[in-house]
Chains A and B, each alone.
Chain A
């Protein structure tokens, strides 16, 4: 299947600093990428949908100025947690949807996730 690489896998930072998480589709082009947040033993909460070359669409309740998303190319999307605080500590997962030949293959592939710990 398609491979989505997410980096870093684990990051610890001080309160007030910013953290950037990268999500890359390694062997396919992804016009749409998704960013999720997951709390322990819970389901994934969609934060935003990122389309290449346009502004991300944020879900209700997600602060767009705090969680900056950039999707500059068909293989790379980044999530920057700005001025991180302990309550931002969580597991962040990106996902990319495969699109080939103008048709969407209807499968989302997920990165391995990034565990963010804010001290």
Chain B
């Protein structure tokens, strides 16, 4: 079965510093990987996805993620964090064997301090 893991419940970063939110995956076959962000009392917003192609994927709001097959990782990154980036981030994998449903990680709360 497909799964993703986000090893950090919370990440704290100072504004202007680079940020990384970690995600590792376990899949059979080619992975379809996604990052979503959730602001308080809101639904999820799509940030970026990896299906195939370049390992470095660029997404919304200056975020990017690097697909690393050897390390089975798909970490989310941003060169310079903003206070407004503070939110809950979810990594997800799409499971074609289960009707294409998304399997979500536990979520990582990102806090960016001024």
Contact = CB atoms under 8 A, between A and B. Distances in A.
Q: Do A and B bind each other?
A: yes
Contacts of B56: none
A115 B42 CA distance: 10
B106 interface: yes
A107 B106 contact: no
B8 to A, nearest CB: 14
Contact of A1 (B46, B88, B104): B46
Contacts of B36: 110
A42 B109 CA distance: 10
A44 B90 contact: yes
A112 B42 contact: yes
Contact of B44 (A93, A104, A115): A93
Interface stretch (B21-29, B72-80, B95-103): B95-103
A32 B90 CA distance: 21
A106 B48 CA distance: 11
Nearest to A91: B41
B106 A106 contact: no
Nearest to A97: B100
Contact of A110 (B43, B51, B99, B109): B43
Contacts of A93: 43-44
B101 A44 contact: no
A108 B102 contact: yes
A43 B23 CA distance: 14
B64 to A, nearest CB: 17
Interface hub of A106, A108, A115 (most chain B Cβ within 10 A)? A108
A97 to B, nearest CB: 7
Contacts of A112: 42-43
Contacts of A32: 99-100
8 contacts: A4-B43, A34-B102, A41-B109, A43-B105, A44-B90, A93-B43, A106-B100, A107-B49
- List of 3 A-B pairs having minimum Cβ-Cβ separation, nearest first: A110-B43, A110-B44, A112-B43
Interface of B: 32, 34, 36, 41-46, 49, 51, 88, 90, 94, 99-102, 104-107, 109
Interface of A: 1, 4, 6, 32, 34, 41-44, 46, 49, 57, 91, 93, 95, 97, 104, 106-113, 115
